[in-house]
Each structure stands twice: as structure tokens, then as C-alpha cells.
Structure 1
Amino acid sequence: MTTEIKHKVLVLLGPTAVGKTRLSLELAETYGAEIISGDSMQVYRGMDIGTAKITPAEMKGIPHHLIDIHDPQDAYSAAEFQVQGVRLIEEISARGKLPFIVGGTGLYIESLCYGFRFSEAVADEAFRSEQDAFAEEHGAEALHARLAAVDPASASRLHPNDRRRIIRALEIHHQTKVTLSSSHEAQKKESPYELCLIGLTMDRKILYKRIEDRIDQMLAEGLVAEVKGLLDHGYSRTLVSMQGLGYKEIAAYLAGETTLDEAVTLLKRDTRRFAKRQLSWFRHMKEIQWIDDFNEQNFSENFAKIRAIIAGKFLSGLEYTSEQSN
């Protein structure tokens, strides 16, 4: 994946609920950008509340790509995201706009930014079936422990419920005797793009409170009804999409396996853990300029910091529209 001219690509990343959406809209308006969603769940149609998906009205006319491109029964992968992202960066740049990747799925974003080569290990259906059967008999934690035994770094980044990715990591090690984490570390971390990576985080207690408030808001907006509608439509609980945070827990409640309070408590706990894993992944990425105290109260101050970061990184040839509009 090479280009004669390195296209400028702006990247905004951070854990769930940190406030990426509002900032991304402000930045996209300022710099004439088109947004490429770097979220592995927002690709699915009909999965809106549980993924905190931006609405068409909230987009303010700013083009958003890789949202609502798959039905829930169709699995989506980092490799597919990479192919589509490369194409979009070319197309957006050709229109004279700034490609702007926004999201929290670390593997997806890093694979696009640095042109990862994905493992050539082919699908071994017998091996996958064996691992699936093991998980069904012994539970998700036992399968996760299998991965931790051979590839602790990958295990630390994958939730025990992320069965598809856990089995893929095991499959790669089974076939190649090389761990997925070692493969990632061996990648050539030189980007084909001129990158400006901005990371958002905040005090952990504040972030966790925002996560819990967001989940309460999702419930108020109809998360239970959304999950019920998906199940009624025939989408199985075993689908990759239905294993996403919010969908798995509420589906268990609807099946009578837990109370709603128990499902919500589990969802809040697992989402906090997910945010921790997101930050762990991003902290291993290079060149990220971190805004560590991002919040609504200091939004203007941090927005000015971010503008300065972008100006210092690639102001040349990029219209600094916010200065012109002041």
C-alpha cells in the first residue's frame, strides 16, 4: 500500500464515552474534513442505540463513511476496514477534503494508519469448530485462558466474550507458531500517510461516570427494544455483531437468564473494562498527541490546543479555516 504523495490524514481516537463525537464535528467543520468511522460496531444497520451511533441530523451535513454498511449477520473485519479505508482516503483527498479517522477500535485504526499486513493463515474450519465446542462446554473464560497461555499480550487486549477474535488469534498461532501480538509488533510502523494523531482521555473516575451515564441514557432511549427488535428479526445471539457490548447483556436478560438490573450492572462493568483495554492499545501506538484532561468544561481550551497541534503537524497546504472564520 504505497502512494507517490503522502496524503494528510487526521486521526482522533480515545476510549468510549470520552467525547470524540462533538470534537470530531467541530474539527471537521474547521478543516473541511470527511469523517471515516473507526468503530467496529457502527458498521451494522439497525444497531444504533447500543453503539452510540451518530444520527443523520447530528452529522451537520458532514460526510460520514463506514457507518451502516453491513447487516448484523455479516461479520466485519479489520482487513475489510483497511481496504475500504485506503480507498476512502484516496477518494476524499482527490476531492480536496481532509480524510479524518474517528473512533475507538485500535486494531482497525492502527492497521489503516500503518498499512498492516494481515496474517496469511487460512481459515481452518475444523480447528475453529473445535475451539467453538470447547467454549460451549467450558465457557468463554476457559477459551480466553487458552489464548492467554500462548499469547498473553493478545489475551489482555481481547474481551473473553470476543470469541471470534480469540479463535482467530489461536488459529494463527496454531498454523504459524507465531503469536498475533508478535506479528503486530513486527509490522513496519512507517505510515504511507502524513499523519496527525490526537488522543483523548480524562481522569479515570470521570470517564467511568460518563460510561455509566451513557448506558443509562441508552436504556432511556430504548436499548432493550432495539435488542428485542434485532432478535425478533431473526438475528442470532451468536452473531459477531450480537456479541457487542450492550447487545449480549440485554439479549441474556430478554432470554430470562438475568434480571435487567443484573444485565445493566454487567454491561457497565464490561464497558469500563473495555475502555481500559482501548487505552492500553492506544498507549502502545506511537506519535499520538494526547489531551489528557479532555472534558466539557475545558472544551474551548483543549480545542485551541488541538488546533495548534494540527497546525504544527501539517498546516502547510491545509486551509486553516478556523482562523479565517474568527
Structure 2
Amino acid sequence: MDTRTNNLHHQQVKEKVIFVLGSTATGKSKLAIYLATKFQGEVINSDKIQVHKGLDIVTNKVTNQEMSGVEHHLIGIIDPEVDFTIADFCEKTLHAMSSILDRGNLPIIAGGSNRYIEALVDNETLIFRNKYECCFLWVHVSLPVLKKYIYERVDQMVQSGLVDEVREFFALDGDYSKGIQRSIGVPELDAYFRAEATGCEDKETVEKLFEEGIDLMKSNTYNLACRQFEKINCFRLEKGWNIHLLDATEVFLKRGFQREQEWRWRVAESSMNIVSSFLYGDKY
């Protein structure tokens, strides 16, 4: 092979990137961190709400302990009141990917803002596709099973201090159309906090507003999960993305140690095989 041909060959080699897709509450972050520990990766957050500072419980940000020493990007870096646009996401993600690859590590993009991911991958000039080879993993849970889990998780978030956390962000003139205020859990509790702030003395009314707010948070989170499911299905069926389905439904039907065992088998091991083939084999 002469020098010119050899140079052309090197120019055509694409860098590799992993995407972890899925509806809210399916365990995308857990899988991304697991893969990062196995393949020398770093995680880039693709959740447009988690990119903001604050409301860690409401937005379900991964904790430092859960990160297991894995470097994370685009999480908790933007002021709460500032909008984080698709253009912002694409710019910052490309910058993060470049720095990760410069360190010889694997970029793993994980999060539920699928319109942002779509804009990154299928941009008009196809720059991303021409430069990067993508492996898409879809952590899927049957929606009826996921609904039950989402409702339970909201209750757990309330027990963990969600209400007090949101109360600190409440303002009578709050704008729920921008920044972190758009997060599910903030506008849903507005009527409850408004009753508190205006000194409503009818305890039954206040309690009812609280219960209605939590119920609305549950239903809105589930509706989000359904929309995310439909969008990923669109990627697969209409746009032709080669997406590897990891069915985690059985995981969510288990409890405790059995759930972890099921996750290791159905999600962790399956994804390991897919990513290994993607990175080191000819087919995936």
C-alpha cells in the first residue's frame, strides 16, 4: 500500500461512540456507567433538564457514588434559569467527545432527550455520521410494567425530599416555560405551593392540592416515557437506525437481589457482547 493510499485509509477510519437510549426510569445511566467501567469510557449526559444545576432529586441526577469514578460531562453545569438549546447540546457534546477521544477513551452518550440526539446524529450535513460510527443500545421496559415502577419511584422521590427541594425554587411569578422550571415535578406542585404561600388555612384543600400535584407528576412522567418510546421506535422503524434492543421488562418484575441478577444477565451481559463486537469485531 503506497503512502497516498495509506493516508486515505486512515482518513476513512471513523471514531466510535455508544448511545444508550430508553424511556425515563429504565436505567440508562446505570448501563452507561457500567459500560464505561468495562470499556474505558466517559459518559455524556443527553438529558436537557439534568444539564442544569439544582433539583437533583426531581431530575434524578446520578450521585457521585453512583458514578463509580466515571467521568461525566454536561450534567449540572448550566444555571437553572438558562435555556439549553439543541444547538447548545450539539456544540458541547461534540466538544466533550473530542476531549474524550483525545484521552483515548470511549464516548458514551446517555439520556432521554431524543430530539437532541436526533439533531446531533442526523444533522443536515451528515458531519456526525461521516466522522463517527454509532452503536445504539435501547433499554426497553414494557410500558405497563414501567408505569408501576414510575409511580413507585415518584413516591420514593417524595420520601427523599423532593417537595422541599422544589419549594426552594417556587416563586409566585415563576416561569415554567424555560430552564429547569420545565422539569416534571415543578409546575405540577405550583397550586400546592401557591396555597401555602397565600396562607390558605383549609388543610383539606391544601392536602388535596398536594395529592393532585403528586398524581399529576406521576402521570406526566409516564406520558413522557410513552413519548420517548414512540420516538425511539421512529428512529428504528422510520429512520432506519440500527438499534439494539435490550428488553429489561423481566428485571423490573423482580425485587432486591433477584432484580440485580436479572439485570446482569438481560442488560449488562447482552450489552457487553454488543459493544465488544462493535468495538473489536466486524459485525455488530
Tell me the TM-score range normalised by the shorter chain: 0.7 to 0.9
**Secondary structure of the corresponding residue to residue 48 of structure 2:** coil
Counterpart position of 1:123: none
Are residues 233 and 28 of structure 1, via their aligned partners in 2, closer, same or farther at CA, if it must alter by over 3 Å? farther
**Which residues in structure 2 correspond to 1:133-148 (within 5 Å)?**
none
Counterpart position of 1:267: 217
Paired residue for 2:18, among 3, 10, 35?
Answer: 10
Paired residue for 2:154, among 215, 221, 224?
Answer: 215
Deviation track 1:137-183 (CA, whole Å, cap 9, x = no partner) reads xxxxxxxxxxxxxxxxxxxxxxxxxxxxxxxxxxxxxxxxxxxxxxx
**Contact 1:202/1:293, CA 8 A, preserved across alignment:** yes
**Contact 1:114/1:191, CA 8 A, preserved across alignment:** no
Give the distance between the partners of 1:288 and 1:206, measured in 2 at CA: 22
Counterpart position of 2:248: 293
Deviation track 1:170-217 (CA, whole Å, cap 9, x = no partner) reads xxxxxxxxxxxxxxxxx8994531111100111222111111111111
Are residues 91 and 188 of structure 1, via their aligned partners in 2, closer, same or farther at CA, if it must alter by over 3 Å? closer
Deviation track 1:270-300 (CA, whole Å, cap 9, x = no partner) reads 1111100001111111111111235235212
* Number of aligned residues: 246
1:21 to partner: Cα distance: 2.2
Paired residue for 2:233, among 278, 283, 289?
Answer: 283
Are residues 17 and 205 of structure 1, via their aligned partners in 2, closer, same or farther at CA, if it must alter by over 3 Å? same
**Which residues in structure 2 correspond to 1:137-176 (within 5 Å)?**
none
Structure 1: runs of 5+ lacking an equivalent: 118-186, 318-326
Counterpart position of 2:6: none
Identity, in percent, stands at 31
Give the distance between the partners of 1:10 and 1:248, measured in 2 at CA: 34
Counterpart position of 1:227: 166
Are residues 4 and 89 of structure 1, via their aligned partners in 2, closer, same or farther at CA, if it must alter by over 3 Å? farther
Give the RMSD, CA atoms, in angstroms.
2.4
Q: Could you state the TM-score of these two structures normalised by the residue count of structure 1? A: 0.70
- 1:308 paired to 2:273: yes
**Contact 2:20/2:109, CA 8 A, preserved across alignment:** yes
**Which residues in structure 2 correspond to 1:216-255 (within 5 Å)?**
216-231=155-170, 236-255=175-194
**Which residues in structure 2 correspond to 1:311-326 (within 5 Å)?**
311-315=276-280
**Contact 2:49/2:179, CA 8 A, preserved across alignment:** no
